Every structure is written in C-alpha cells, then in structure tokens.
Amino acid sequence: MRQFLLFVFVLLIPCFGLWTVANAPIGLPAIGIAGSLLSNWFPDVVNALSPSGPEAILMTEFGEKAGQLIPLSQADYRLGFQINTRVLSYSLPFYTALHFATQRKTYLADYLWGLLILYVLFICGLVCLCLKTLMVNVSAPFFNQAGVFVPNAEVIAVSYQFSVLIVPTLAPAILWLSQSKDSPLLQGLFVRTVDR
C-alpha cells in the first residue's frame, strides 16, 4: 500500500503535467464527436462545437443584443459559450497514475482499454456539459424546439452534476479496481469478500 501511494504521488505530477501540455490535441476528437452529435440533434440551436486552445466554444444559431437572445439574421455576431473540457478529461492523467503505480503482469493492453472507456465517458460528459450550458443560457428556445426530443431540466441537471462531479474521478477508480483485482495490492481481497 505504501509503495503504491508513493508511486501514485510520484506519477501524478508528470501525468498531470503532460495532460496540461497536451490537453488541446487530446480533446480534439471528443470535441469533434460531441459537436457533430449536438449539431445534428439540435440543428436549430447548435451550430458547432469548436476547439479553442485547451477549451471549446459551443456556437449557437442565435445572436445577442443587450442580454437578450435574438435571431442570427438580426445579429452582428453569433453567440457562443466557452466550455471547459478539462473538468472532464483530467480522468485520463488520474487513471494513468493509478494504473502505472500498480504492480501488474501486463500494462499496455489494459491501459489502452481503460483509456478508450474513459474517452467515451469524456465524450458523454461533454454532451452533458453542453446540454447544461444550453439549458442555462438559451433556455426557452432550447426547450421549445419543434419535433426535437429535449431531455427535461431535471435530467440535464442530474446528468451534468454526475458527469462533472462524480465520473471524472470515479470512473478511473472503478477501472483501476477492476483491472487491478489480481495485482499484489488487491489480490484475494475481492475473492474473499465479493465472490464468497
């Protein structure tokens, strides 16, 4: 346990450092997929989700004048909202530190599977984050789209809270537990307790 903790602390610094430096390219595919999903789901509200440095900009089909939403045709510019993708993607360096701090027989295959799962969750989280942004900032025109299924406000609120507050730290921990149950650190603990 002490060795594991020491390795985690030692690895957390370079893993988070690398993630900070490489965050923009790491987020690109997720931004592309989430953007494509949202602009097809809400064609009258979402124009695109575009990368902007380490973050993303959710471009809408509206303009703004004196704090009021107006149709794009009457506006001087398109209204967009900044989306912080890093509040979701920090699951990747956290998982990396946990994974490589644990003594195990094979490292790479499990790690790649873990990254893939976390990346899918990252995309889902990004969609939830954008839905919450649209709910708060666009509100009525977002909820009143004709012929489009829009989740209700409570579902959006819970999924946002869950995606941002719980998933980025919990998903790496669950993945690590399930992949490390045969490691010297956890060996036998799950067999004795869960499967007996």
* Residues 147-176 within binding reach of other proteins (CB under 8 A): 157-158, 161-162, 165-166, 168-170, 172-174, 176
Q: Does 12 bind other proteins (CB under 8 A)?
A: yes
Least CB distance to other proteins at residue 37 (A)? 23
* Residues 68-97 within binding reach of other proteins (CB under 8 A): 84, 86-87, 90, 93-94, 97
Q: Does 192 bind other proteins (CB under 8 A)?
A: yes
Q: How far apart are CA 193 and CA 195, in angstroms?
A: 6
Query: Which residues lie below 8 Å from residue 195, measured CB to CB, with a gap of 6+?
Result: none
Burial class from Cβ neighbours inside 10 Å (0-12, 13-18, 19+) for residue 41 reads middle
Q: How far apart are CA 59 and CA 78, in angstroms?
A: 7
Q: Which two tokens stand for residue 173?
A: 């921990």
* Residues 117-146 within binding reach of other proteins (CB under 8 A): none
Q: Which three-class secondary structure string do you get for 106-162?
A: CCHHHHHHHHHHHHHHHHHHHHHHHHHHHHHHCCHHHHCCCCCCCCCHHHHHHHHHH
Q: Does 18 bind other proteins (CB under 8 A)?
A: no
Q: Does 22 bind other proteins (CB under 8 A)?
A: no
The contact set with other proteins (CB under 8 A) reads: 1, 5, 8, 12, 16, 20, 84, 86-87, 90, 93-94, 97-98, 157-158, 161-162, 165-166, 168-170, 172-174, 176-178, 181, 185-186, 188-190, 192-196
